[in-house]
Structure 1
Amino acid sequence: MARVSGISKVKLSVLILLVAGLFIACSQIPEYPVEEPIAARVQSYDYQRDIRPIFEHKCMACHGCYDAPCQLKLTSAEGLERGASILPVYDGARLEDMQPTRLGIDASSTAEWREKGFFSVLHGAEDGELSGLDASVLYKMIELGHSQPVTPNSRLPATISLGTARTNSCPSIDRFADYADDFPHGGMPYGTTGLSDDEFNQLTQWISEGAVVSPALYTPGAAEQAMTEKWEQFLNQSGKREQLVARYLFEHLFAAHLYFPDIEGTHFYELVRSSTPPGQPVRPLRTVRPNDDPEGAFFYRLQPLRQAIVEKTHIVYALGDTRMQRFESLFFQPDWDVVNLPGYSYKERANPFVTFDPIPAKARYQFLLDDAEYFVRNFIRGPVCRGQIATDVIRDQFWTVFEDPEQEAYVNDAKYRAKASPLLGLPGQKSDLLALGPEWLEYNEKRNDYLKLRGQYYAERKPEGATADELWDGDNWNQDALLTIFRHYDSASVRRGLHGRVPRTIWVMDYPLLERTYYELVANFNVFGSVSHQGQTRLYFDLIRNGAEHNMLRFVPAKQRESLYAHWYQGNAKIKHALTYTGLDTATPVAMDYTGADSNDAVMQRFSQLLMDRTAAVSGPPDTLNRCPHNNCQRPSISSAQQQLESTLQPLARANGASLPVISLLPEVTFLRVTQGDQRWVYTLVHNRAHSSVAFMFGEESRLLPKEDTLTLIEGTLGSYPNFSFNVPLEELPSFVDSLSAIQEQPGLHSLADRWGVRRTHPEFWDIMADFKRSTEERAPEQAGILDVNRYENL
């Protein structure tokens, strides 16, 4: 075995200390009997017509994804029948990978789910007769909630635990009495305004008659059916080139909700590997990752989504004739060949640059750039982005831009590509605890070797320095060239365009960075993975962020790079830099005009202006809400009432935590609904927390800089997890802003919520949440989904 260097030993010791506090004992999976439900002959209510809308209105906002309490997923009939489990999917301390529990994949019958530890929440049977309400956990839960109503628009008592960090009890029917005694306010809908009398009575009657559940129908029209068949034929061609491209496309689209934009009323689909060919029922392979060994023949299939859409997992991607033509021109018009198709070994899964090397690199990069927002949204709405430790690797607001594909080094220089590819592998495939340190050290060293290679190559290629034309301008039509990413403590969002004030950092991503980010956080991420796997993923993403910042520094004056970098990595981050990162290039100049830009802020302002000049054709109108220094900017395309509204809000975006202390007290994501008669406008107040650095997994509180916090105003909703909302008549908006601006301490927010807040207990809470969803449907109907209220605060 090779000797570990002294600095590597230090790194390994630090790493082990970071994760040592995460270990806990493993839980045993209980076994549950398979119930034999008995249904009444006459059913008063139809599940899809009468019952599902109640769940969609008041239940799916919490029970819609991997983080649904007790894994009770109510977005489909299959999830309701599967029931609940005491085992959480998100567990940052398990020592081994857990068995996956993906609905529709990892079990095909109720009996199989019971063997995996799921228990029924619907019904039971005794001696062949209906056991009615006494055997239904669902009934007991809604009855407990209905019997303990909350005071309208009041703050919840401290005994009601909120947030994703709370421990869920997940009682089966035999333990429910103890649960109700321990948690008298633990009924459903949890911690919110409850069911109406009519809703409660309908659910009660439906459950008493056997809780008959029927799956959603799939009835595609002729055009839609023909399009699905056309795409399955395209993806299952027999040629080697076609097989390799199909694999590449699958590994990048497996998490998408696919649709056909030219067909009215199209369903959403997901792309799966199935053991059955087109024309037969889909049977998805049960591999954990999309690039795991299929261990046999398979076919790419489009499977319709028969579930309600929740925004936090809704990552849309358009197919159709135009897309197929684009794929043909990107991947098959260039002249290239495949001698031997790659397999699914550790090396091939860990390094997509080697696996897909025969496909022209420029085609792969352009494929990612065509829909850059989609790929970034995969990082954000995929299962990796959940929890503070998962997201504190990024800053709260920053812009992301891309290198121009005509000049990007990796896709244009075969010799350089051959040197770089072996250094671009990714950790995380080995998930045992002992692999955590060695895997991270190995890939960290390779990454730093790559950065040195890259820096030397660019310096030699352009000794006079970087130029603005190296930044992708979207080919003067593609608005995905400019993205703004917001972190909301334990979640994140992305939106096209440059939103908010000029950020502290701007990412410049090339093909290796964009592809590695996707594979590390999406394709190779296992939400059921061990602490070792999760630790490797989080640590390597730290390197990706650092690499994107290195890329940006090429575009600023050499003399300013160390100062900017030190501003990003303050305090103990200097130690992290010495142990983990690679050095800066402070010698190669920049071939861009920075005359008079002598401070860090001036350099960032100048770079942002050069960026906007370069991308003027796709940047859209200026962000007058957030970048209007004299509060005199108006958008001519909006009504006078909305101009008045925005003029009232603009001062909030010019302040910081020092000048406006309430900013540091606000939740991460606050929705604002402003009304005037039948009109309403929706905005989001995004709290951006400033940090001295984001280089560490733990101790975030010690790195906060509240006086430098800012607020970004966004038209429409931003974020799948609103933390609070206000409902304000337009004529009262000046008073609202004045009252908000005067707040100095947390009790002031409670007083503000008394007057304008939409608390979890507000009589119209669910209707207003639904209206926020409608506002997205009006702007971009294909993007709309049910919002998650697990993180909604008790202001």
Structure 2
Amino acid sequence: MISVSKLFFLQKTVLRAVVLLPLAAALIFSACAKQEQPAEAKLPVPEVSESDKRLIESLPEKTLTFNDIRPVLEKRCIVCHGCYDAPCQLKLSSHEGVTRGANKLKVYNKMRFSYQAPTRLFIDANSTEAWRQKQFFSVLNDDGNHSAEENLKRSLLYQMLNLKQHYPMPDSGPLPADMDISLDREQVCTRLDSFGDFADKHRNWGMPYAVPNLSEKEYKQLVQWLAQGAQPSEETRPSAEAVAQVRKWEAFFNGSSLKERLVSRYIYEHLVLGHLHFEGTGREFYRLVRSRTETGAIAEIPSVRPYDDPEGSFYYRLRLYDASIVEKSHIVYELSDARMARYRELFLEPDYKVTKLPPYNPPEASDKGDRFWVKVKKLFGLYDDKMLTPFTIFREIPAQVRYQFLLDDARFFINGFIKGPVCRGLSALSAIEDHFWLFFLKPENPPAPYSQHGLDGEFLADMDQYLHLPTELADTSRLFAGWIKYWPDEQKYMQAKLDYYRSQKLPRLAFDKALDDFVWNGVNMEGEANRNAALTVFRHFDSASVHYGMQGGTPETAWFIDYPVFERLHYLLVAGYNPFGTLGHQLGARLYMDFMRIEGEDNFLYFLPMDDRELLYYSWHKLRGKTSPEQRKATRAWLKVDSVGGYSTQQEQPPANDEQKMAKAKRSRDELFKNLKQHLSAVESEWSSPGRNERSQCADAASDRAMQRVIDSLHNKVLKNFPEVSFVRVKGSVHTCDRAYTLIRNKSYREDSFAKPGQRSVEAMQEDTFTLIKGLAGSYPNFFFDLNLQELDAFVAASEEARTELDYRRVLNRYGIRRSNPEFWEMSDWFQGQHVSAQPVEAGILDLSRYMDPQPEDASPNP
């Protein structure tokens, strides 16, 4: 492991390179510019196929609009072209996205050393001309000749669809060798004038990419829409039910008192990713934005972060979100009369005063010249970039009030970390385990009578200097700021928190009493239970999902989140994270996320017996050899605090060896989990009702029992070829009794959290587990299985007996749906229908960009 001193030296070296390389590149490019370069040869624009010429001879009398073809786009195109990571930034979820076109720059770039201007649809530009200035090129006919044939001939979108017609997918077996479906594959973003060359080199790359072709009807609809000029639909307006709600909520958020203005700022900075919804408005969603206008058309301020200085007066507005809803970024937050009453109860009725409004942090510089001088100042230590933290900005709002606001909708805010733009790919997710539970300490922590103010009160004001985040550095070139700048502060904070607890002279408690006193159980004064009190997170290799309740078998780890951890997670991964940021920005967020994970897990371990705590601590973190002795001393100090008792394991005979000691520690952990389930017994599990959307004639649980046998049989088997997230359809006696399940493979990472599946040891794979979810979980299905109830046992047996690549392919071909399978779209539509039926408001379009063309991790036999 690299030492902190080596990291500091490496950072300085890389920083010098970041500053000097652009100067060298500028000299090289300026020299080259003096030489006349031959113009790039333009290949002729491809023609319209004869069959499509016949299509446009029979165009419908009514001009097709975007809403007419939206269903086709949602089922076949937006499943890959709906978010930041859409190939070539081509977002097809709205007409504005289609007319914006494509861009060769990637949003997600792990090697970005220089500033990249944000290109957020609906925010960073509002016209086609403005997008062209940002290097987006058209996928439609923009040459001024708008005959039907010319509209097709000069449409890149048509040419990609037509290419697939000429070179369709094979209808069985693996994908062609030249089709790369990996998450970070190299992009080839061709323009129309080079499409002929592209088609010659990549004949299999027509749209939709790496999946079966469109049906004849779907293709005809899209071609005719493009031939008619790709017309938009009429502007969508708020429903009558929503208009009054929008007016009422905008009045609330724009209250005039200092208290109202500070509270509105706090709420806005936390709902920035939310799709706001009013009861009774169907699938109609809004975004809370800052606008220059108080009424009428909204002029959204395109700040990179919600706490950037708006540089002038503004108003909070609710902006209708008219794009198709994709699951991977759909985070629903309900606004209602009850919600407004809760806001008043939490924020406005308590007797505290706001004496002045805090300043905003400076926005990220948009002028490259400004950025150059900022870097020079940083290089010579003349630039102070430490910004105000939320603990300072919102200091006059009681911390317990802020924390209770987060607890009320904990899953929504955790989903911000999971579904937000930060959470993409292996490197982003490697900070967390594949399966763990989340619990929350009470807002009053430590509770009375143990403390006067609580950890989350006056203590935070004193600790603010240690609670800064690396994302506040914005577009930083400091690659290892997370370790060099913030790790020492984290250690000082952890030591100060331990000293604070010690100063309260907390008694040694029986652990069930400790849970009652310290852990939030979600039950309010009226006895109503809030199911946000216990959550489950599943990491699916390069994506994740969060669910209500304690799902799955016993996990290896759990977190106890307190207010300082919760708030920092939000400002690290949501409010402060810029997906267009530099490598230093991305790496700083990733490294600091490790600190938050460790702190959450350490809070959980604090409730275990001292001896067991230390064993689990080192098995989880493995800090020996990774940090300096001084840092280890600060990290380990709390391990020796004898805080809880009453465990049955404490009455056992002392273990004789290390193996027995670890077994005892795990029994203590499991005893704590058992008591947590009792403590949280009022919390309703999201998936507690099997088949909750099935009709009465499907009430028997035969498929549930059969699927549980699948889990029991596969548990502890080294099935290294299984996908992370599999959607399973189990066919019943009649079609209406077909059921949907999710089979989740939770992998154990012992060697390195960055390890890829093929790099893991057999010992690690033997600790993998499977979780069965009734219904659908996750935004990115990796594979579909289509099974009859009677063949589940045969499916299990075949999976267990697979030893070679050929064996595994036989299992897939018999029970699974490969990308090349002609039934692929039928299965995709069925699962999407089940998803919307089960969750009419929360469901979005499932993403198929990570659907596997499964290959085993290697071709050698399983042990």
| TM-score, with length taken from structure 1 | 0.90
Shift of 1:782: 1.0
Shift of 1:128: 7.1
Q: Are residues 513 and 722 of structure 1, via their aligned partners in 2, closer, same or farther at CA, if it must alter by over 3 Å? A: same
Q: Which of residues 522, 525, 540 is equivalent to 1:474?
A: 522
2:167 maps to what in 1? 148
- Deviations 1:62-83 (CA, angstroms, capped at 9, x unpaired): 0000000000000001001100
Q: Are residues 459 and 211 of structure 1, via their aligned partners in 2, closer, same or farther at CA, if it must alter by over 3 Å? A: same
Q: Are residues 691 and 210 of structure 1, via their aligned partners in 2, closer, same or farther at CA, if it must alter by over 3 Å? A: same
- Distance in 1, Cα, partners of 2:339 & 2:686: 28
- Distance in 1, Cα, partners of 2:608 & 2:220: 66
> Structure 2: which amino acid aligns with 1:558?
M
**Match status 1:644 vs 2:721:** no
Q: Which of residues 201, 226, 243 is equivalent to 2:244?
A: 226
2:51 maps to what in 1? none
> Structure 1: which amino acid aligns with 2:562?
D
Shift of 1:654: 4.0
Map 1:563-582; keep pairs closer than 5 Å: 563-570=615-622, 574-576=625-627, 582=635
Is the 1:669–1:684 contact (alpha carbons within 8 Å) kept by the matching residues of 2?
Answer: yes
The count of corresponding residues between Structure 1 and Structure 2 is: 766
- Distance in 1, Cα, partners of 2:759 & 2:153: 51
- Distance in 2, Cα, partners of 1:510 & 1:485: 17
Between 448-457 and 300-309, the greater mean CA deviation after superposition: 448-457
- Distance in 1, Cα, partners of 2:61 & 2:320: 28
Shift of 1:133: 1.9
2:796 maps to what in 1? 737
1:116 maps to what in 2? 134
- Distance in 1, Cα, partners of 2:697 & 2:490: 52
- Distance in 1, Cα, partners of 2:561 & 2:290: 31
1:255 maps to what in 2? 273
**Match status 1:719 vs 2:778:** yes
Is the 1:350–1:426 contact (alpha carbons within 8 Å) kept by the matching residues of 2?
Answer: no
Is the 2:747–2:768 contact (alpha carbons within 8 Å) kept by the matching residues of 1?
Answer: yes
Q: Which of residues 454, 459, 462 is equivalent to 1:419?
A: 462
Q: Which of residues 487, 492, 500 is equivalent to 2:552?
A: 500
- Deviations 1:166-211 (CA, angstroms, capped at 9, x unpaired): 1121101011011111111000000001111222222222222322
Q: Which of residues 598, 602, 624 is equivalent to 1:550?
A: 602
Shift of 1:693: 6.1
Q: Which of residues 350, 354, 357 is equivalent to 2:392?
A: 354
- Deviations 1:421-464 (CA, angstroms, capped at 9, x unpaired): 33212112224554344564222211111111112222443141
Shift of 1:350: 4.8
Q: 3-state DSSP class of the match of 2:470?
A: coil
1:610 maps to what in 2? 675
**Match status 1:78 vs 2:135:** no
- Deviations 1:640-677 (CA, angstroms, capped at 9, x unpaired): 875222322324434677x4122x22111111111122
- Distance in 2, Cα, partners of 1:20 & 1:607: 51
2:658 maps to what in 1? none
Between 453-462 and 85-94, the greater mean CA deviation after superposition: 453-462
Between 640-649 and 249-258, the greater mean CA deviation after superposition: 640-649
- Deviations 1:519-558 (CA, angstroms, capped at 9, x unpaired): 1000000011000111111110010001011111110001
Q: Are residues 375 and 621 of structure 1, via their aligned partners in 2, closer, same or farther at CA, if it must alter by over 3 Å? A: closer
- Distance in 2, Cα, partners of 1:406 & 1:431: 33
- Distance in 1, Cα, partners of 2:8 & 2:631: 11
Shift of 1:747: 3.4
Map 1:62-211; keep pairs closer than 5 Å: 62-125=80-143, 131-211=150-230
Is the 1:463–1:588 contact (alpha carbons within 8 Å) kept by the matching residues of 2?
Answer: no
Q: Which of residues 844, 852, 860 is equivalent to 1:785?
A: 844
Q: Which of residues 274, 283, 307 is equivalent to 2:291?
A: 274
> Structure 2: which amino acid aligns with 1:377?
N
- Distance in 1, Cα, partners of 2:235 & 2:15: 44
Q: 3-state DSSP class of the match of 1:781?
A: coil
2:717 maps to what in 1? 660
1:464 maps to what in 2? 508
> Structure 2: which amino acid aligns with 1:729?
N
**Match status 1:541 vs 2:588:** no
Q: 3-state DSSP class of the match of 1:687?
A: strand
Between 468-477 and 506-515, the greater mean CA deviation after superposition: 468-477
Q: Are residues 15 and 648 of structure 1, via their aligned partners in 2, closer, same or farther at CA, if it must alter by over 3 Å? A: farther
Q: 3-state DSSP class of the match of 1:539?
A: helix
**Match status 1:589 vs 2:642:** yes
- Deviations 1:32-90 (CA, angstroms, capped at 9, x unpaired): xxxxxxx9998654223432211111000000000000000000010011000111100
The ranges of structure 1 where at least 4 consecutive aligned residues each deviate by more than 6 angstroms after the TM superposition are 14-28, 39-42, 621-625, 636-641, 698-701
- Distance in 2, Cα, partners of 1:361 & 1:305: 32
Q: Are residues 700 and 723 of structure 1, via their aligned partners in 2, closer, same or farther at CA, if it must alter by over 3 Å? A: closer
**Match status 1:369 vs 2:414:** no
Is the 2:481–2:588 contact (alpha carbons within 8 Å) kept by the matching residues of 1?
Answer: no
Q: 3-state DSSP class of the match of 2:416?
A: helix
Q: Which of residues 396, 416, 429 is equivalent to 1:391?
A: 429
- Deviations 1:480-504 (CA, angstroms, capped at 9, x unpaired): 1100101111111100010111111
1:630 maps to what in 2? none
Q: Which of residues 734, 743, 747 is equivalent to 1:685?
A: 743
| TM-score, with length taken from structure 2 | 0.83
Q: 3-state DSSP class of the match of 2:91?
A: coil
Map 1:280-291; keep pairs closer than 5 Å: 280-291=296-307
- Distance in 1, Cα, partners of 2:125 & 2:485: 37
Is the 2:346–2:401 contact (alpha carbons within 8 Å) kept by the matching residues of 1?
Answer: yes
1:753 maps to what in 2? 812
- Distance in 2, Cα, partners of 1:351 & 1:573: 32
Q: Are residues 680 and 656 of structure 1, via their aligned partners in 2, closer, same or farther at CA, if it must alter by over 3 Å? A: closer
1:35 maps to what in 2? none
Q: Which of residues 325, 346, 349 is equivalent to 2:341?
A: 325
**Match status 1:509 vs 2:561:** yes
Q: 3-state DSSP class of the match of 2:649?
A: coil
1:484 maps to what in 2? 536
> Structure 1: which amino acid aligns with 2:192?
I
Q: Are residues 273 and 702 of structure 1, via their aligned partners in 2, closer, same or farther at CA, if it must alter by over 3 Å? A: same
Gaps of 5+ in 1: 1-5, 32-38, 626-635
- Distance in 2, Cα, partners of 1:21 & 1:765: 48
> Structure 2: which amino acid aligns with 1:50?
D
CA RMSD in angstroms, aligned pairs only: 3.2
- Distance in 1, Cα, partners of 2:15 & 2:433: 22
Q: Are residues 701 and 18 of structure 1, via their aligned partners in 2, closer, same or farther at CA, if it must alter by over 3 Å? A: farther
Shift of 1:96: 1.9
Q: 3-state DSSP class of the match of 2:195?
A: helix
- Distance in 2, Cα, partners of 1:112 & 1:621: 44
- Distance in 2, Cα, partners of 1:357 & 1:612: 35
Q: Are residues 532 and 225 of structure 1, via their aligned partners in 2, closer, same or farther at CA, if it must alter by over 3 Å? A: same
2:366 maps to what in 1? none
- Distance in 2, Cα, partners of 1:563 & 1:374: 34
